Amino acid sequence: MAIETSMAEVAIEQNLERFLLVLSVSLSVATLPQIVSWFRRIPYTLLLVIVGLALAIADVRLINLSPGLILFIFLPPLLFEAAWNLKWSNLKRDLVPIILFAVFGVVISTVGITLGLNQLAGVPIAIAALIGASLAATDPVSVTALFRELGVAKRLSVLMEGESLFNDGMAVVVFSFLVGLSLGESQLGLSPILVEFFVVVGLGLGMGLLIGFGISYLTQRFDLPLVEQSLTLVSAYGCYIITEQLGGSGVIGVVVTGLVLGNFGSRIGMNPRTRIIVTEFWEFIAFFVNSIMFLLIGDQILFRSLLENLPTIAITIGLMILTRAIAIYGLTFFANRTVQSEIPISDQTILWWGGLRGSVSIALALSVPAALAGRDELIATVFGVVLFTLLVQGLTIQPLLKTLKLLGDQPVRQEYSELVARRAALERVLQHLTQMKERPEVEADFYNLQKVLVKGELQNLESELDTLMNEHPNLREFTAEQLRSELMAIEANTYAEFVRSGRLNEELAPSLQLVFNEHKEG
Amino acid sequence: MAIETSMAEVAIEQNLERFLLVLSVSLSVATLPQIVSWFRRIPYTLLLVIVGLALAIADVRLINLSPGLILFIFLPPLLFEAAWNLKWSNLKRDLVPIILFAVFGVVISTVGITLGLNQLAGVPIAIAALIGASLAATDPVSVTALFRELGVAKRLSVLMEGESLFNDGMAVVVFSFLVGLSLGESQLGLSPILVEFFVVVGLGLGMGLLIGFGISYLTQRFDLPLVEQSLTLVSAYGCYIITEQLGGSGVIGVVVTGLVLGNFGSRIGMNPRTRIIVTEFWEFIAFFVNSIMFLLIGDQILFRSLLENLPTIAITIGLMILTRAIAIYGLTFFANRTVQSEIPISDQTILWWGGLRGSVSIALALSVPAALAGRDELIATVFGVVLFTLLVQGLTIQPLLKTLKLLGDQPVRQEYSELVARRAALERVLQHLTQMKERPEVEADFYNLQKVLVKGELQNLESELDTLMNEHPNLREFTAEQLRSELMAIEANTYAEFVRSGRLNEELAPSLQLVFNEHKEG
């Protein structure tokens, strides 16, 4: 097609081509475990990093990963998706340790790495501090992706995800304060840091709540699935950009919006089908963005500068592991005095070793002004440490979980839950078929055929369930737990029905819903 | 957050902001019919054009719509989605008329408009020919969007969509040949045109088949829903870009890929659940892109240049309507000798009047080299004609369908569904009234009165339903279908309930959902 294209169009086309190429490579990586089963041991995201590294060794550079790309395009959807799927009731239970990790963990890591690098490796204090701040926050994307693939216990992944979703605000504040300081724009002192911290975090929280609840009440007024789906996308990017422009933490904004929409808005404003479609849509977006990002992280590595800075990198790794140990074991000591059930030492060990660094650290390092002396050293160090956490820590966390017996009987429970859900669904179908008035317009044979089919299926399910219960006697405890939550669900549904039918004031619903959601999941 | 951003990042951020703004305006337009029911008469896409026009009148320009943006970003997913949902068996039945319209319809329109404009309006032959070629092809996007919203009979929409999906190849060939001619690069003659036509169309067909079947067999080898979903996205954009680079018609390439994947690949390579998710995903993408594009088409209008070229526009509109009449009625005369069941005259009339022009015409007009004298006149004319087809033809097609009695039993089905819903609601009310404990604060008489009222209402409904069923015996098929989907909905909702209440793990649910989706389609 011989249509003349302008420069801008050529640029659009080339960018699109690049992304398609990256995506194609990633998708090929995704099919590797299907071809060679050995690869199944390695989580998909880490496999991408390794393939990216291999491409970098062969000097195949797919695309240049700018901090703008990471921050504006990739981060909002990933954060939104993680928050959308995080249950508020779970998060609330461990809010104290999560806040402690997110706030003081960052301070401990930054101070520890800064002083250590300065004393042990002779790195200038300004650069050391920026390295410390870049690496202070665990990465929500890497951590979430990895923990989901491994299927660890709920509480552990909530602790890990919760911390990583909220510590960015703190890290970004510390980091940008330090950048200002090293360029001579900020003043050293505790009160300006504190003021900035509260402004940045407060704006993030405020905008997140505003947009989250705003969209929630908006979607309650109509039932337009495609519009509601689009609104989740608009709110993720919109909240990030608006919060950033106001000077707040876009990361915290998106996380709060995602939490509100996933836990509240999707319940009051979306019908069940829409909710499932939106969840599936975000699952795809997260897969899509992760596929691109982890490959590019590997592909960005410059081996020469990694080798040049190897001693600094090694020392930083040691400091990072040490400071995280102090932060996790130390802060948990205090947190365990407040929470209902203590965080056991095995969980603490996973929290310590599983604190991967990723895209946020890289974006922060790349965003250091070019004017700053020592920028290249800083970037190389941060990349090196991130690579270590992804490859060494990421690949050893599964054996560690197994050693600590933390993988649990999750698969069996899952199988059991699925069978029970299927039985309930089919029973309800049968009930409906039996109770409904026969419609003159449908042939009687059709009813009978359906009934026979459903009954046969139900018998199969019963026998499968029997087998499962005999093989795993400790499922009984689990089923008792399930029954309790079923009863709670009946209670909660009654409230919901009262609200729906107008017998309960709708405006008061939020506070109520918070109350009964707690019940429901308790 | 005080991180320094480079120029490129600022550009990314600004583009993103613009798109979010456009999308927010579009989504607001989508909710208009919920607030003011009058707007329900106007199809969503046309409502967007009108709002875009209103913004243009107020001189609010949201974004600049470059042909590159239309061609590379918007067109491939829209074409892919339309083709993915087009059933090959339906298409095959009417392949002869579709090919006749797509090939000779374009030639008739181009020649007719060119000669007419040159003779009647004195437009130079080169410009007249480019206007003719730009407007020769009906727009797949506008036509598909409109016909779907109106819910016309299957065959009519297949004819319309089929023609519009395939005539672009022809229009683009004619257009680029004419551009070359007016710049003195091509030679006038039938054989070079024919050779180019076969190269362009052949490459499109070839690449489309290659990529379509390649991906189909690839996805057959594994069951990775997210990868398969990504592959549909890669194939849509990839096929377009590769075909264009080889000099073929990217439009035809994408359409063929979409047809192959939707009719063949999705059946042999995807499990039912993946197929549903992918279809829903593309439905969302189409909604998303349409929401942006139709608003921007309206918003792009420059009224001053429209007014200046009003006589030319009016003559072009007349010519376009006339040549399409000749093409449709004339070609159908021949086509009716080959197809099993003839295309009735009423269908022909809809094909004639429903031939909207849209994004493809605009993209072609905008792609005319700036060096060509008369470019502004050309662009203004094409925009004016497109606007006429969208607003005048688009808004009158529904009354026309009604007059020609072509809306089928859609209204009857609607009436039936409403009656059934009302009956179910009243039955539930009656059940509730009967079962509930009498509340001391309400008089017993009130209960009885309510029961009598509801019962009377139910009897009315029953007799209305009877009458409807007797008048339209073919509703039986529809009701069986309805019952089946009702049963499926109960099953699906039960799963959703389990997931919501935490009794079933959302992340592992896919394997379960697979089972019940199979049921659904069995």
Encode pLDDT of A89-98 as tens digits.
889 889 999 9
Least confident of A143-147, A336-340, B73-77, B494-498: B494-498
B221 exposed, middle or buried (CB, 10 Å; 0-12, 13-18, 19+)? exposed
Q: Which helix (H) or strand (E) holds B301?
A: none
Is B310:B302 a contact under the CB 8 Å cutoff?
A: no
Q: Do A520 and B505 touch (CB under 8 A)?
A: no
Residue B513: is its pLDDT beyond 50? no
pLDDT band at A521 (very low <50, low <70, confident <90, very high): very low
Residue A506: is its pLDDT beyond 60? no
Between residues A421 and A396, the one the model is more confident about: A396
The 3-state DSSP composition of chain B as helix, strand, coil percent (nearest 5) reads: 80, 0, 20
Q: Which residues of chain A from 302 to 361 reach within 8 Å of chain B, CB to CB?
A: none
Do residue A443 and residue A478 come from a single domain? yes
Do residue B37 and residue B54 come from a single domain? no
Do residue A449 and residue A343 come from a single domain? no
Least confident of A179-183, A472-476, B96-100: A472-476
Between residues A388 and A501, the one the model is more confident about: A388
Q: For the residues B308-326, what does the mean pLDDT come to? A: 95
Q: Which of these three, B383, B403, B423, is where a domain ends?
A: B403
Residue A409 pLDDT: 61
Q: How far is CA A83 from CA A255, A280, A286, in A?
A: 5, 14, 12
Average pLDDT, chain A: 81
Tokens for B93? 């039945």
Residue B73: is its pLDDT beyond 80? yes
Domain count, chain A: 3
Q: Which residues contact B462 (CB under 8 A, 6 or more apart)?
A: B423
Q: Do A27 and B234 touch (CB under 8 A)?
A: yes
Q: For the residues A373-379, what does the mean pLDDT come to? A: 87
Tokens for A326? 């102090």
pLDDT tens per residue, range B134-187: 999 888 777 777 777 776 777 888 898 899 888 877 787 788 778 877 777 666
Residue B514: is its pLDDT beyond 60? no
Closest in A234, A291, A421 to B20, CB measured: A234
Q: Do B5 and A238 touch (CB under 8 A)?
A: no
Is B216:B264 a contact under the CB 8 Å cutoff?
A: yes
Among B201, B204, B198, B193, which Cα is nearest to B110's?
Answer: B193
**Residues B199, B205, B211: CA angle, nearest 5 degrees:** 125
Q: How far is CA B393 from CA A200, A265, B350, B354, B398, in A?
A: 53, 40, 10, 7, 9
Residue A185 pLDDT: 65
Least confident of A66-80, B303-317, B348-362, B422-436: B422-436
Between residues B133 and B481, the one the model is more confident about: B133
Residue B486 pLDDT: 67
Do residue B247 and residue B206 come from a single domain? yes
Residue B243 pLDDT: 92
Residue A514 pLDDT: 40
**Phi, psi values for residue B391, rounded to 5°:** -85, -50
Do residue A329 and residue A342 come from a single domain? yes
Q: Do A287 and B516 touch (CB under 8 A)?
A: no
Do residue A166 and residue A284 come from a single domain? yes
Q: Do B367 and A238 touch (CB under 8 A)?
A: no
B9 at interface of A, judged by CB pairs closer than 8 A? yes
Residue B381 pLDDT: 94
Name the residue in chain A with its Cα closest to that of B515.
Answer: A422
Closest in B234, B284, B492 to A229, CB measured: B284
Q: Which of these three, B373, B403, B433, is where a domain ends?
A: B403
Q: Which of these three, A386, A403, A420, is where a domain ends?
A: A403
Q: Which helix (H) or strand (E) holds A343?
A: none
A178-208: buried (b, 16+ CB within 10 Å) or exposed (e) per residue? bbebbeeebeeeeeebeebbeebbebbbbbb
Least confident of A136-140, B112-116, B410-414: B410-414
What is the DSSP code (8-state) at residue B263? Answer: I
Do residue B495 and residue B471 come from a single domain? yes
Q: Do B476 and A418 touch (CB under 8 A)?
A: no
Tokens for A485? 């939550």
Q: Do B67 and A230 touch (CB under 8 A)?
A: no
Name the residue in chain B with its Cα closest to that of A7.
Answer: B68
Q: What is the CATH classification number for the domain harbouring B177? A: 1.20.1530.20
pTM: 0.76
Q: How far is CA A360 from the centre of its chain?
A: 13
Residue B407: is its pLDDT beyond 80? no
Q: Do A2 and B475 touch (CB under 8 A)?
A: no
Least confident of A81-85, A495-499, A503-507: A503-507
Residue B241: is its pLDDT beyond 70? yes
Residue B394: is its pLDDT beyond 60? yes
A271 at interface of B, judged by CB pairs closer than 8 A? no
Do residue B396 and residue B415 come from a single domain? no
Do residue B10 and residue B104 come from a single domain? no
Residue B489 pLDDT: 65
The 3-state DSSP composition of chain A as helix, strand, coil percent (nearest 5) reads: 80, 0, 20
Do residue B182 and residue B289 come from a single domain? yes
Q: Do A66 and B250 touch (CB under 8 A)?
A: no
Least confident of A171-175, A345-349, B122-126, B197-201: A171-175
Q: Which residues contact B282 (CB under 8 A, 6 or more apart)?
A: B77, B80, B81, B84, B85, B232
B417 at interface of A, judged by CB pairs closer than 8 A? no
Q: Tell me how far apart the alpha carbons of residues A356 and A143 are, in angstroms, rounded to a whole number.
A: 6
Q: What is the ipTM of this complex?
A: 0.74
A39 exposed, middle or buried (CB, 10 Å; 0-12, 13-18, 19+)? middle
Tokens for B199? 């190269």
Do residue B19 and residue B59 come from a single domain? no
Q: Which residues of chain B from 155 to 194 reach within 8 Å of chain A, CB to CB?
A: 172, 175-176, 179-180
Residue A73 pLDDT: 83
Q: How far is CA B327 from the centre of its chain?
A: 23
Q: For the residues B460-479, what does the mean pLDDT come to? A: 77
Average pLDDT, chain B: 81
B474 at interface of A, judged by CB pairs closer than 8 A? no
Q: Write out the residue range of the structural domain in which residue B95 sits.
A: 45-403
Q: Do A24 and B234 touch (CB under 8 A)?
A: yes
Residue A222 pLDDT: 82
Do residue A390 and residue A466 come from a single domain? no
Q: For the residues A269-284, what does the mean pLDDT come to? A: 85
Q: Tell me how far apart the alpha carbons of residues B12 and A245 are, in angstroms, rounded to a whole number.
A: 14
Set of chain A residues whose Cβ sits within 8 Å of the Cβ of B470:
none
A195 at interface of B, judged by CB pairs closer than 8 A? no
Closest in A283, A420, A441 to B479, CB measured: A441
Least confident of A101-115, A471-485, B52-66: A471-485
pLDDT tens per residue, range A213-241: 999 998 888 888 889 999 999 999 999 99
Residue A191 pLDDT: 75
